[in-house]
Structure formats: C-alpha cells, structure tokens
C-alpha cells in the first residue's frame, strides 16, 4: 500500500503502475478500422463518464477515506497488482476494506472458498473485513477509486473484471481470450449476480461480451450496473 497523506485523488493520479499495462493507444493502433473507431469512441466515453463520476462521487470518496482512517489502522487506499490486457500487471486501486495483513491470512481460509471451479477466492462472511469494510463491499463503494485506473487507460468502464495476479489462469483458450481486451470496472458478470455466478459461467459471460462488444452493449451494461449495485446481489 502507498501513501495517502496528500489526499486520495492526488495520490491515485500520482501513482505509477509497477509494470504498467499497455496504453489503450496500443490496442487501438493494432485494430482494424471498424474496431478502431469503436475503441476510440469507447475511450472518449471512458474519459467523459469517468470524469463526471469522479466529480459526482468525490464527497462520498472523501467521506469514505476519512471513515476508514478513523475506524481501523492502516492506509485508506489498497493497491493490488492485477492482470491487465494480455495479462500485463498494473496497480489497481480500491478503498481498503480489510485489516492490515489480510492478504497473508488468506491461505488459512482457502478451504472456505465459495466460488468453486476456478482460481478466484470469494468468501461471504470473510473474517478479514473491517466493520466499515463489509459495508463498502456490499455497496461496491470500495471500487470507486478504480475510476482513476479508467482515466489512466489501465482499465475501461466496461470489460472483464481484472483478477489478482495469483488468481489469473490462462490454461485454456477461453481464459486466454478473456485477457485479450482491457479489463473493466463493470461487466456482464457484475450485473448477472457477481459472486453467485460460478467461475466457468463467469468466463463464458466475458467471452460473450468480447465477441459482441459495442457501444450499445457497453451502454446497456452501464445502465444495468446501477440497479445491480443497489440490489447488493452477490456483493461480498
């Protein structure tokens, strides 16, 4: 975790990736004309909507950062290496929802993993969560700092969710295909039940998105994300 004493916004924008994900321009330049136009429009939407969301949620993010700092020791923001496009690592930002040292304690909880059939770890009643962290998870407020990843071009608003490096599996063609595009803040998995969806179905949802992605589908997913977040279904 890094410093937050200059405020979460200034801190997030100043942090370099450890091994930065490929710039979005790399994906655009290697695409065909039709795909290139889509990616350019998608990037413009990311910048406009991402900026508007940061402005709109800034008071909430500030209040969240203060609440975390006042209720548990440690930094306000949590930084984790995640797999970007083609599996290249980047640093993803979240509000800290667990106590310090929680990453090291995961090994003793692996046997309780509720997301079977894959490498991902999800636990509904995770004892590592702080009281306010549990609320942040249920409401998805902990994900808001990823809007800065979107502005930096490491993520996009809509795309497959980025996995921690130790959970990335590229053993099948489907899993490799999943890593072929920029990871996103929300996706079909996010609006379909999140952690209630088995890993194999999660991968299939991401493949469907990759094969059919368009501005219209992106807009549909963004709109459906709002009620999905409010319902808290599968959020843990």
Kindly report the average pLDDT of the chain as a whole number. 84
Q: Is residue 159 part of a domain?
A: yes
Picking from 61, 86, 70, 67, the residue whose alpha carbon sits closest to that of residue 7 is: 61
Q: Is residue 3 part of a domain?
A: no
Q: Is the pLDDT of residue 130 over 60?
A: yes
Report the DSSP pairing between strands 156-158 and 89-95: unpaired
Q: Is residue 59 part of a domain?
A: yes
Q: Is residue 141 part of a domain?
A: yes
pLDDT on residue 34: 82
Q: Is residue 1 part of a domain?
A: no
pLDDT on residue 2: 42
- Which residue pairs, CB below 8 angstroms and at least 24 apart, start in 54-62? 54/9, 54/147, 54/148, 54/151, 57/144, 57/147, 58/9, 60/141, 60/144, 61/8, 61/9, 61/95, 61/144, 61/145, 62/8
* pLDDT range class, residue 118, cuts 50, 70, 90: confident
Q: Is the pLDDT of residue 214 over 90?
A: yes
Q: Is residue 188 part of a domain?
A: yes
* pLDDT range class, residue 24, cuts 50, 70, 90: low
Distances (CA, A) of 89 to 13, 24, 228: 17, 14, 28
pLDDT single digits (tens) 34-68: 888 999 999 999 999 999 999 999 999 999 999 99
d(CA 113, CA 122): 6
| Strand (E) or helix (H) holding 204 | helix 199-212
Q: What percent of the chain has pLDDT over 90?
A: 54
pLDDT on residue 127: 87
- Phi then psi dihedrals of residue 12, to 5 deg: -65, -40
Instruction: Name the residue with higher pLDDT: 105 or 191.
Output: 191
pLDDT on residue 152: 93
What residues make up the domain containing 177? 8-231
Structural domains of the chain, count: 1
Q: Collapsing DSSP states into helix, strand and coil, what is residue 82?
A: strand
Q: Is residue 65 part of a domain?
A: yes
- Phi then psi dihedrals of residue 172, to 5 deg: -115, 165
pTM listed for this prediction: 0.84
Q: Is residue 216 part of a domain?
A: yes
8 A C-beta contact, residue 40 and residue 29 = no
Instruction: Name the residue with higher pLDDT: 170 or 113.
Output: 113
* pLDDT range class, residue 9, cuts 50, 70, 90: very low
């Amino acid at each position: 975790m890094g410093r937050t004493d200059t405020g979460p916004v200034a801190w997030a924008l100043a942090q370099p990736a450890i091994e930065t994900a490929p710039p979005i321009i790399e994906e655009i330049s290697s695409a065909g004309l039709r795909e290139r136009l889509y990616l350019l429009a998608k990037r413009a939407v990311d910048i406009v909507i991402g900026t508007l969301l940061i402005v709109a949620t800034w008071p909430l993010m500030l209040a969240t950062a203060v609440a975390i700092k006042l209720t548990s020791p440690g930094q306000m923001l949590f930084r984790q290496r995640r797999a970007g496009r083609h599996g290249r690592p980047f640093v993803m930002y979240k509000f800290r929802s667990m106590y310090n040292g929680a990453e090291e304690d995961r090994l003793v909880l692996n046997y309780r993993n509720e997301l079977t059939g894959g490498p991902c770890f999800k636990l509904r009643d995770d004892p590592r969560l702080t009281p306010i962290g549990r609320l942040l998870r249920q409401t998805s407020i902990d994900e808001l700092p990823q809007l800065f990843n979107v502005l930096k071009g490491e993520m996009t608003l809509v795309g497959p969710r980025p996995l921690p490096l130790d959970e990335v599996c590229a053993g099948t063609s489907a899993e490799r295909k999943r890593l072929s595009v920029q990871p996103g803040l929300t996706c079909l998995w996010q609006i379909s039940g999140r952690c209630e969806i088995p890993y194999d179905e999660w991968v299939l949802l991401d493949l469907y998105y990759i094969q059919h992605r368009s501005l219209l589908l992106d807009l549909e997913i963004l709109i459906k994300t709002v009620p999905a977040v409010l319902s808290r279904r599968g959020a843990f």
